[in-house]
Amino acid sequence: MEKMIECKNVTFKYDNGENTDIKLALDDVTFDVYKGEFLVILGRNGSGKSTIAKHMNCLLIPSGGKVFVDELDTSDEKNTWAIRNRAGMVFQNPDNQIVATIVEEDVAFGPENLGVEPQEIRKRVDNCLRKVNMYSYRKHAPHLLSGGQKQRVAIAGVLAMMPNCIIFDEATAMLDPSGRKEVMKTILDLNRIYKITIVLITHYMEEAVEADRIIVMDDGKISLEGDPRTIFSNVKMMKKIGLDVPQMTELSFELKNSGLNIKSDILTINEMVNELCQLE
Ligand code: ADP
Ligand code: MG
């Protein structure tokens, strides 16, 4: 499989000047993100998720090791723009990412800065607003939109730069459940329909269930890696790291512990229903 992002033995220390004994925020982190993949990164607060995410579009450069985006070395300044064109980022707070007073002008901001032709900008803006299902709001004022709508405008703004990959750093954390669902559906569509590589950092296990692969970070290191079913079937290990598993996985774990003959790696309600209906 072709690599979109390659992290090789990455270490990183936030440099606070003199203080030499501050701990590593990233400690020998090695993993790849493949083209077209939907990768989820889990980990409790302070485990290094945002720090690794920021390495993926040159917001941070490794103290040791290397990060490559589409084979471009992030530590080479000449590559910064090319890398940011390939790997866009969406953050937690949509209010910090929206710059204009009209939705379509906000989406146009990125490509305008890249010097894209006005006609092409018009096409991209309409196209990207349609992809996030916000086209009918193109003349609206962003500050009057709901959190989920604002976040979708922010995503359209990133899409307008035509990235191959988008990194979402807890992009649904500030949204209400319906906003979260809207944004999650948008992210899934970007991956499945438009084949954009997704790196999703989240605290919500029902979002993580959608991943092709999950990486669990703990204390600046990778502690687990695998598909959702494999990761979440480690209920004890996940709890030890301070993380939850999806509700249905937890329930199947408890039912099994109490003697029921049931699979212990159930992820969704549908699977649970199927499994329970087959019991004698
Ligand atoms: P996460 O996103 O998983 O919550 P972070 O990547 O933000 O974790 O943080 C990893 C570690 O780096 C934590 O110990 C955190 O306190 C530290 N850290 C994060 N940002 C800074 C910063 N700007 N300056 C100093 N230390 C930081
Ligand atoms: Mg973070």
Quick check: helix, strand or coil at residue 214?
strand
**Looking at the DSSP assignment, which residues form a beta bridge with residue 201?**
41, 169
- Quote the pLDDT of residue 278: 87
Tokens representing residue 243 in the block: 């993380």
Does residue 55 line the site of ligand 1, with CB under 6 A? no
Helices of type H across 160-258: 177-192, 205-208, 228-232, 235-241, 247-257
116 CA to middle of ligand 2, Å?
A: 32
Does residue 42 line the site of ligand 1, with CB under 6 A? no
Sign of CA dihedral 27, 83, 202, 238: negative
Pocket test for ligand 1, best of 10, 51, 169 (most atoms within 8 A of CB): 51
- Contact 62/55 with Cβ under 8 angstroms? yes
Residue 165 has pLDDT above 90, yes or no: yes
51-91 per-position pLDDT tens digit: 999 999 999 999 999 999 999 999 999 999 999 999 999 99
Segment among 34-38, 149-153, 196-200, 235-239 with least mean pLDDT: 235-239
Tell me the average pLDDT across 182-195. 95
Residue 20 has pLDDT above 90, yes or no: no
47 CA to middle of ligand 1, Å?
A: 7
DSSP string, 25-83: SEEEEEEEEETT-EEEEE--TTSSHHHHHHHTTTSS--SEEEEEETTEETTSGGGHHHH
- Contact 58/74 with Cβ under 8 angstroms? yes
Nearest CA to ligand 1 atom 16: 46
234 CA to middle of ligand 1, Å?
A: 26
203 CA to middle of ligand 2, Å?
A: 10
Tokens representing residue 237 in the block: 């290990």
Angstrom CA distances, 49 to 25, 220, 243, 274, stand at 9, 8, 14, 35
115-150 per-position pLDDT tens digit: 899 999 999 999 999 999 999 999 999 999 999 999
104 CA to middle of ligand 1, Å?
A: 34
Sign of CA dihedral 258, 263, 266, 272: negative
Closest atom of ligand 1 to 201 CA is 2
- Contact 132/154 with Cβ under 8 angstroms? no
Nearest CA to ligand 1 atom 10: 48
- Quote the pLDDT of residue 270: 93
Matching residue, tokens 């003349």: 139
Running DSSP on this structure, what letter comes out for residue 131?
H
48 CA to middle of ligand 1, Å?
A: 6
Closest atom of ligand 1 to 43 CA is 3
Q: Minimum-distance ligand to the CA of 168?
A: 2
Tokens representing residue 1 in the block: 């499989």
Sign of CA dihedral 122, 127, 130, 131: negative
Does residue 108 line the site of ligand 1, with CB under 6 A? no
Nearest CA to ligand 1 atom 5: 48
Does residue 45 line the site of ligand 1, with CB under 6 A? yes
What is the C-alpha separation between 252 and 275, in angstroms, rounded? 10
Q: Minimum-distance ligand to the CA of 42?
A: 1
Taking alpha carbons only, the member of 61, 24, 153 closest to residue 100 is 153
Closest atom of ligand 1 to 48 CA is 6
- Quote the pLDDT of residue 279: 83
- Quote the pLDDT of residue 19: 67
